[in-house]
Structure 1
């Protein structure tokens, strides 16, 4: 066997390996593209912003399980790219850049009829939310295997939407 034959066989093997790698890469890309979808929002829509746990501690000073995964809603003020949007953030988040990738956003369907303004919410000195029941709408007794449980349908002061719980 001459040196030219060895070089030819080696080149042929390298081309085979490269061809197989391209096939595998294209197959993996097609699998990934099948599950990939980009968030499509219009300027003026409301979105929630995903925050990592350490950013929650820095921005909102909350730790552990009580820290939120998403904050907001925020208004989209500009479209930057197919995968990037600019948001209108409040003053307390002014140290954050306002352009975000779509992977950090979650579309928020805001219904103004069910939103409660912050002025209407009453909080006591222990930071507990106080919600006052207005009326008992219905009473029912549910029988389980060996006991009975009383159920009440209650209308609350700030309850919006279905008006009762």
Structure 2
């Protein structure tokens, strides 16, 4: 494909095609034939350049071969974890050297059939009041039973509505 055609999406009209046949007499047939020869020479040199580019590209080109790799593993899970899909992509798995002491039985964790459990607050550790533009937001630091981080800040009004038994009759000091 010629560069002009690649750039503009159509053939380049040579200067010979710019003129009507009747205009040949005005310009002179030598000029028209000379421009046609130059266009022919340009096309030949473009073809030569393209063939050299193809030669160099083909010399460096090599066929790619890919090997098939195993990217999924199927785990053998205990019967109580049957609802979990047992096939995992390798990017989701991490190498773990198990410690038999740290393995907990799944019966005592309170795991439901859908493998979820309810976090249970154990104690209120702290209380803080944040002042916004027009109101105050009271938060309490709650220590949870199964949470890895241990404690989180929660809105006091929400915690009182769900776990009123944790709040003492005397308020926290501010």
Give the TM-score normalised by structure 2. Answer: 0.35
Q: Which has the higher helix share?
A: 2
Q: Which has the higher strand share?
A: 1
